Amino acid sequence: MFWRNVWINFAAILFVGLCLSLYDGAQWNDINWPLIRFVLPFALLVAMLIEIRWRGGSFYREKRLKEKADKERSAMIIAVDGPSASGKGTIARALAQEFGLPYLDTGLLYRAVGYAVARACGDPDKESDALAACGFDDALLDLPDLRSETTGGLASRVSVHPAVREALLERQLAFKNQIGGAVLDGRDIGTVIAPEADAKLFVTASAEARATRRFNEMQAKGEQPSFDNMLADIIKRDARDSGRAAAPLKPAQDADLLDTSEMTIAAAVRQAIMLVRDRIEGR
């Protein structure tokens, strides 16, 4: 549309200039035709330049914005890691929405294994029992019970087994490798699952801040948890996740650190989006 208008203006200049050059103006002696022959094409030329300046600037500005958006959405992988209750899940979901990408909470896979082990009266600390539960049906991922603190503890216990992590690896890789990219959150996304990710965040917070969040969440549900027990459980889970031999919890060397201890949810999300955009623009 823009270039069509430019060519129309250019053709109009040529047409008017040609007509004026052919017409001698002998019967209208009171009109200064040489001046008209100069002014009218000049006015049309100015109009065309204005068209180029304003509409052309808008055209290229919109083109650049579209190219930037396409770049952001082209097979982009975002890895979000961090300990329990750091806010990584909320941040990962917000990033998925912001950049139009599918989202996978990989921790939910381990929760499903832990839940299945407990339901089968197995031992989550026994690798054979945990491995046997890895063939769970995807429908299990929709159960609200997977979000409980008890199931979270079971997930941390089954995740220490190398065979379990290997069994769940294929599901995570398949999700990561889908056309268009993805956002994944967990504890080893940037180091094991997607070390090639375009942007990596390691979301953390102090144990006290995370325990307070969990405590408030459970109180809001009408439960009466013990803060001291919750804090001790978080510290114990951190030690187990960070100290395991297979894919321990740790930030990737090229990950951006985001400490949410003193941040609101909105502020943490804004900071995460900014960090990811900086990484994308620099790739």
Residue predicted with more confidence, 152 or 276: 276
Q: What percent of the chain has pLDDT over 70?
A: 73
Model confidence at 26, in pLDDT bands (50, 70, 90)?
Answer: very low
Q: What is the CATH number of domain 74-102+178-281?
A: 3.40.50.300
DSSP state, residue 79: E
Q: Of 18-27, 39-48, 67-76, 113-122, where does mean pLDDT reach its minimum?
A: 18-27
188-218 residue pLDDT tens: 999 999 999 999 999 999 999 999 999 998 8
Instruction: Read off the amino acid at residue 12.
Output: A
Q: Report the run of H or E that residue 189 belongs to, with start and end.
A: none
User: For residue 28, what pLDDT is reported?
Assistant: 46
Q: What is the pLDDT of residues 114-161, one digit of tens each?
A: 999 999 999 999 999 999 999 998 889 989 999 888 898 899 899 999
Whether the per-residue pLDDT at 27 is higher than 70: the answer is no
List all residues 6 or more positions away from 153 whose beta carbon is below 8 Å from its beta carbon: 114, 233, 237
Q: Is 257 helix (H, G, I), strand (E, B) or coil?
A: strand
Alpha helices in the chain, H assignment, sequence order: 2-22, 33-50, 56-73, 88-99, 107-119, 127-132, 149-158, 162-176, 207-220, 227-243, 265-281
Q: Which residues contact 12 (CB under 8 A, 6 or more apart)?
A: 44
> Positive or negative, the Cα torsion across 64, 66, 67, 73?
positive
Provide the residue ranges of all domains of the chain, joining segments of one domain with +: 2-71, 74-102+178-281
